[in-house]
Structure formats: C-alpha cells, structure tokens
Amino acid sequence: MIDTILNYLNNSSAITIFVLVLLSIYFIAVVWIYSFKFKQLNSILIIEKLSLDSLINNGKINPLSKIGQCLSNSSISKEVLKACEVSLVRDATTGLTWLSIISSTSPFIGLFGTVVGILESFAKFSTQSKVSFSVIAPAISEALVATAAGILVAIFAYSFHQIISRKVYEFNTYLKSQSEILLSQE
C-alpha cells in the first residue's frame, strides 16, 4: 500500500502534488474545526439546558449560562436579551463559514488536479504512434485520485457543517427560551 502511494507521488506532476497537499490541509482544517466546535458546543448545550431547567423550576438562571453571563452587568430588557442572543450565536457559528467554503471548493480543486493529470497523460501519449487502452486506463485512473480526494474532503466538510449547524440551532433555541422566560418574569 505504501509502495503504491509512493509510486503514485513519484510519477505525479507538481500540480497534482500541490492539489493533494492543499486537499490534505483542507481535511486537517475540517477535522480541527469540527472537533473544536463540537466539543465546545456540547459543553455549552449542557449548561444551557440546565439553566433552562433551573429557570422553569425555580425562576433563577444558572450563573454559568452564556445568557446569564451576558446579563450579569445589565438589567433585563428585550433589547439587551436580543443583543446577547445575536452576539452569542455569532460566536457559536465561528468556523462554519470555513466548513462551507471547504465543502464547496474541494471538489473543484480535486477536479482541477484530475484535468491537469489527464492533460499531462495525453501529452505523454501524443509522442507514441500506437496507444492501447491498457496504457491509457492506468494514467486516467491515477488522474482521478485528485477528484476522489476532493469529494472525500467535501463529504466530511459538508457533514460536519450540518452537525455543527444543528448544535448552533439547539443553542439558539435554549437562548430564546431563556429570554422569553426572563422577559415574562419582569
């Protein structure tokens, strides 16, 4: 397996290697953003759920709650609560733009690598008078590796984007519920 990969990289052009390195960087960024945001949002959601339960049961907001921290220095008003919600959701969505960009651009980067690989293969074949399918097929299949890599990165980026978006939606729901309860207590 390692010999095949090394042989592939040895026979690849600089553009193909550049495309694969770029897609590798994309993949690392996707995994890092997802890991960080997923862990962060899960811990926030636990606190916000407890805070909502506390508000419902005894009318007091959990001091660890993000909305409670936002309100600690100001009085409760509809405008202040709305500003807190917007600020907290904006902070919670950092990184989602990158997941979206990566999921939409990585297939095109992979496709670019494939097109360049196919063009280079045809350039090599142009010097030969007879070329059989057994010579063309391996060259084309090697070129398609870049597209496969781009699609693989896009699948993870899009899936992680959807998971994090759902977590942000849950967070926003907890914030809105707490805001409504706080406003009804006034």
Q: Give the DSSP letter string of 32-56.
A: HHHHHHHHHHHHHHHHHHHHHHHHH
Contacts of residue 38, defined as CB under 8 A and 6 or more positions apart, other chains included, come to 160, 163, 164, 167
pLDDT (0 to 100) of residue 51: 92
Task: Report the distance separating Cα 90 and Cα 87, nearest Å.
Answer: 5
pLDDT band at 150 (very low <50, low <70, confident <90, very high): very high
pLDDT digits (tens, 9 = 90+) for 89-112: 999 999 999 999 999 999 999 999
Nearest to 89 by CA among 166, 9, 181, 169: 169
For the ranges 50-64, 88-102, 137-151, the maximum mean pLDDT occurs at 88-102
- Is the pLDDT assigned to residue 142 strictly greater than 90? no
* C-alpha distance from residue 128 to each of 16, 59, 114 (Å): 23, 82, 22
Global pTM reads 0.86
| Residue 180 belongs to domain spanning | 2-185
CB 123 within 8 A of CB 131: no
User: Looking at this protein, which amino acid is placed at residue 114?
Assistant: T
Residue 61 has pLDDT above 90, yes or no: no
Residue with tokens 């391996």: 138
Q: Per the structure, how many domains does the chain have?
A: 1
Is residue 141 within 8 Å of 80, Cβ to Cβ? no
pLDDT at residue 13, rounded to an integer: 76
Q: Check the CA dihedral 78-84-87-91 and report its sign.
A: negative
Helix (H) or strand (E) holding 164: helix 133-185
Give the mean model confidence (pLDDT) for residues 6-32: 87
